[in-house]
Structure 1
Amino acid sequence: MAIDTTPAPSLQAAPPAPRPHGPKLSSRDKLVLFVLCAAQFMVALDFSVLNVALPVLGADLGMNQSALQWAVTAFALPSGGFLLLFGRTGDLFGRRKLFLAGLALFGLASLLATFAWDPASFLAGRALQGVGAAAIVPTGMSLLTTTFPEGPQRDRALGISGTLLSLGFTVGMVLGGVLTDTLGWRSTMGLLTLFALIVLPLAPGLLPESRNPDRPRLDVPGAVTVTGGLLSLIYALSTAAERGFGGTDVIVTLVAGVLLFAAFGYVESRTAAPLVSLPMLRRRTVAWGNLGGLVTFSMMSTVVFVLTLYLQEVLHLSAFETGLVFGAQGVLSVAAGMYASRVIGRFGARRTLVGSLLGQGLFVAALLGIGDGGWSVWLAAAGVSLASMCHLGAIISYGVTVTSGVPDEEQGLATGLVTSTQQVGITIGIPLLGVLATTGTDLLAGTRTVLLVDAAVVLAAAAAVAVGLGGRRRA
């Protein structure tokens, strides 16, 4: 936050004015922020609202256990795979246009999933939801960062957006169970349709159009290789979460992903108008900020996964009671979001990111004290809630870190990297660490092992980001 250095008009001493908590937004700014954040919340909700409904959905549509994983994977593949491509496409041809197209597609796809009559129609709806989400998320974020100027206003806007993003995952877990028990699994998809119907009519009159004025040619080879690499990686890790890393399809797609990313790096170093500017990737704020984002998302999603198993299998809580335990983290997430921009304004995004990662790691380490007694419910609720509060601080501060200093014409690319990091982080954490909790016969011991490794990774990342961004006081 900038400090006013204008001299006082009088030489007479005057009491210092109270420091403002942050800039006030106009009524129009608030409406713009509402539209953009509602869209992001809708996408976050889609990641988790269906999870507890899967068994009921499978019985209704005739999907077996192996087919049910595609209810999640069919959404995750396109939503993560096309993020960079759509982020750059919005930069070149209009972010508002692509945002509105994504909203319309997401709403129609949710309607298809709501009234699906067989597995094929449902999975088609989920895949189209993923394509719509891949258009909404990077263009929505870039519209936010270009609408609100860098500094306290953008910090505050990103704080609200990050709060609702985190809250969307939590609300989805609780709301999914309530809707499924009362109205059936189709209501979870109907809720998303309703969100789209609310946001879409408001967006055209409120959101400004923005694009790169130079409009360079789209880097088609780069788009093909990076999209193929992301699709291969997400497919491999999503499948490995269900069946392990020994499957032929997992190995083939992992190798394909590595080769495609290598090809992408080669293409980008040779093209005149790259999809991803290699100098941007060499920015310390971009490289180290995204590392912090990758770690905070992957490790926190793992904590939620293993604690869900622990609470139900070891402590024998019901699905609804488990949802209530995680519901507590939503309250602290809102509180963290309210104060994050003030903390960033006072200490800078770099220090906030490092401190948030440090706090997340320490509170996850505190969860190592869980056991098989009833008191462990309270430790689990307190630990995961406080870790989530720090996690939200890391989400907001890494978004500010990565997008700070980036020209408006490249904001779609920067926010595409931010959102790609989120998606990949959410995808890789569970298959990489969650298997440690489920392979042995003692789930409690496995859960503790995961929590120990998880905390160590987050604390190591905090140290690495602190060193990597050490020369920047105000990221």
Structure 2
Amino acid sequence: MTTATTNPTDGSSTGGLHWTPRLWGTLIVLCAAMFLDALDTSMVGVALPSIGSELHLSTSALQWVVSGYVLGYGGLLLLGGRAADLLGRRRVFLAALAVFAAASLFGGLVDDGGLLIAARFLKGVAAAFTAPAGLSIITTTFAEGPARNRALSIYTTCGASGFSLGLVLSGLLTSVGWRWTFLMPVPVALLALAFAVRILPRPADDRAKGGYDVLGAITGTAAVLLLVFTVTEAQGAGWAGLRTLGSLAVVAALAAAFLVTESRAAHPLVRLGIFRNGSAARANLIAFTIFGSYTGFQFIVTLYLQRLLGWSALEMALGLLPAGALVALSATRMGAIVDRFGTGRLLPIGVLALVLGYTVFLRLDEHSSYPELMLPSMILLGIGFALAFPSVNIAATDGVADEEQGLASGLVNTAFQVGSAIVLAAVTAVITAGSGGGESPAAQLDGYRPALLLVTAVALVGFVVAAVGAVLDRRKTATTVSVPDYDYPSVDLDNRRGEVLTKS
């Protein structure tokens, strides 16, 4: 087995798969933070009815308990990624993790709905800095190739596990009390912070060179924040309403200003040339589709099981367990699988498994049995996420320079969160329109089925993009010819031709 070479100044791995205890400790700390970030995205869902009852929140206010986190997370990821590059990845990660722990404690103790939403937003902002900082620490600590693939596979699978197991843990904790869904992350975050201070590598200077793109930060962050806010509120304001259309027009204007700024800035927040990397560009689009489709699917399943079939929170948690368990159990093996088959092959297979999982669930009715409907769907979704989630993160950061790893990490995480917000808003609108506001089983199914078709269509777009990428990668590999670097002597062709003619 190859042995990793370790940099004595920062503990970073320069290659190989035999890691030191310090490297394993670094990875475990970063995985813990990623697990918490993903967990918080999904864990509050099951607790919403209990929160609404105790704090007397309306349905629209309850939506913001979820949306507040997504707004802070998705809206500030680009800024978080660039801050990690410019201020130092270790410094940003530690500060943001401390804020995350404090906001979790605050959210678990408040008795006011507005303060709870503010705590959720603050947690989302903290996650927007820990996620790209943590991912860029990995990509700059572990050498590109097998070592980085293994580390990224474990790291991203922990994130997928956190998201998948969020509903499971939420069901268990809500049965005790909804506040535990907020308080449970506090000791985990504090423990991770204590170890991070001692274990995370201390490079002499891990900050990228360059200045600050203030105008780009303002226009880019404002565009993403307003986009997430608009699609979240569109259900209440109406997709064709004046407020929604006006907000989308402002989003377009801000996005245009951002692109103009980035093309002219000396030190841009987002170097637009990064999108010339075809693999990274496709990975961001695939990230949008797989996370968006799964968030929409999870929302449909929650309503279907609790409202139509009458399942308890605990029963639903156990029903969703197979998908999360498959993702979690695959964590240690995904690096070797990626090394053997490559992301180009695994991504289409993983996204196709998601498409098939959603397609199986289209058979839902008032009397669907768990073994017939839920179990095969959960198994397919578990396989799909286990293959696609690590692969898409690896593809999004491969070939990117160290000084832009925070940017690449922020971009792919932004794609995850914006996809989640947009698809979820669209799914909610489809359910409402399909059911016509009716509460009968038939009316509910009339809302769920077209929403599932939408989710399946979004995932299918991701599959097409992944399949096209696999074909392009294969053609690129086939047309690449390796020529030995021989030192041929120079020849004066004109003189040689004269010698040949004279001898003739």
Q: TM over 0.5: same fold?
A: yes
Q: Which residue of 1 aligns with 2:92?
A: 98
After superposition, the C-alpha distances for 1:198-224 in whole angstroms (9 at most, x for unaligned) are 111111121124666552001111111
Q: Aligned in 2, Cα 1:306/1:120: closer, same or farther, shift over 3 Å?
A: closer
Q: Which residue of 2 aligns with 1:447?
A: 448
Within a 5 Å distance, the mapping from 1:48-63 to structure 2 comes to 48-63=42-57
Retained in 2: the 8 A contact 1:241–1:430?
A: no
SS in 1 for 2:331: helix
**Deviation (angstroms), 1:303:** 1.5
Which residue type is aligned with residue 360 of structure 2?
A: A
Q: Aligned in 2, Cα 1:315/1:185: closer, same or farther, shift over 3 Å?
A: closer
Which residue type is aligned with residue 113 of structure 1?
A: G
Within a 5 Å distance, the mapping from 1:43-192 to structure 2 comes to 43-182=37-176, 184-192=177-185
Q: Which residue of 1 aligns with 2:439?
A: none
Which residue type is aligned with residue 425 of structure 2?
A: P
Which residue type is aligned with residue 452 of structure 2?
A: L
Separation in structure 1 between the aligned mates of residue 188 and residue 415 of structure 2, nearest angstrom:
25
**Deviation (angstroms), 1:371:** 2.7
Q: Which has the larger radius of gyration?
A: 2
Which residue type is aligned with residue 179 of structure 2?
A: R
After superposition, the C-alpha distances for 1:374-407 in whole angstroms (9 at most, x for unaligned) are 4256422321331232123111111111111111
SS in 2 for 1:52: coil
Q: Aligned in 2, Cα 1:167/1:59: closer, same or farther, shift over 3 Å?
A: same
Q: Which residue of 1 aligns with 2:192?
A: 199
Retained in 2: the 8 A contact 1:364–1:384?
A: no
After superposition, the C-alpha distances for 1:53-94 in whole angstroms (9 at most, x for unaligned) are 222223333333222222122222121111111111110110
SS in 2 for 1:324: helix
Retained in 2: the 8 A contact 1:83–1:138?
A: yes
Uncovered stretches (5+) of structure 2, i.e. residues with no partner: 3-15, 436-442, 478-504
Separation in structure 1 between the aligned mates of residue 209 and residue 250 of structure 2, nearest angstrom:
31
Separation in structure 2 between the aligned mates of residue 262 and residue 420 of structure 1, nearest angstrom:
18
Separation in structure 1 between the aligned mates of residue 168 and residue 238 of structure 2, nearest angstrom:
28
**Deviation (angstroms), 1:246:** 4.4
Residues 1:417 and 2:418 aligned together = no
Retained in 1: the 8 A contact 2:172–2:317?
A: no
SS in 2 for 1:146: helix
Across the aligned residues of Structure 1 and Structure 2, the Cα RMSD in angstroms comes to 2.3
Q: Which residue of 2 aligns with 1:463?
A: 464
Retained in 2: the 8 A contact 1:326–1:385?
A: no
Residues 1:208 and 2:201 aligned together = yes
Retained in 2: the 8 A contact 1:437–1:446?
A: yes
**Deviation (angstroms), 1:325:** 1.1
Uncovered stretches (5+) of structure 1, i.e. residues with no partner: 3-21
Separation in structure 1 between the aligned mates of residue 24 and residue 236 of structure 2, nearest angstrom:
42
1:261 to 255, 270, 293: 255
**Deviation (angstroms), 1:301:** 1.4
Q: Aligned in 2, Cα 1:65/1:459: closer, same or farther, shift over 3 Å?
A: closer
Q: Which residue of 2 aligns with 1:436?
A: 430
Retained in 1: the 8 A contact 2:344–2:469?
A: no
Separation in structure 2 between the aligned mates of residue 406 and residue 240 of structure 1, nearest angstrom:
36
Quick check: 376-385 or 349-358, which moved more?
376-385
Separation in structure 1 between the aligned mates of residue 248 and residue 371 of structure 2, nearest angstrom:
38
SS in 2 for 1:51: coil
Which residue type is aligned with residue 310 of structure 2?
A: H
Which residue type is aligned with residue 287 of structure 2?
A: G
Which residue type is aligned with residue 106 of structure 1?
A: F
Q: Which residue of 1 aligns with 2:373?
A: 379
SS in 2 for 1:316: coil
Which residue type is aligned with residue 457 of structure 2?
A: A
Q: Which residue of 2 aligns with 1:289?
A: 283
* Identity within the alignment, %: 38
TM-score by length of 2: 0.85
Retained in 1: the 8 A contact 2:348–2:470?
A: no
Q: Which residue of 2 aligns with 1:305?
A: 299
Separation in structure 2 between the aligned mates of residue 320 and residue 241 of structure 1, nearest angstrom:
29
Which residue type is aligned with residue 190 of structure 1?
A: L
**Deviation (angstroms), 1:242:** 5.7
Which residue type is aligned with residue 308 of structure 1?
A: T
Separation in structure 2 between the aligned mates of residue 322 and residue 165 of structure 1, nearest angstrom:
21
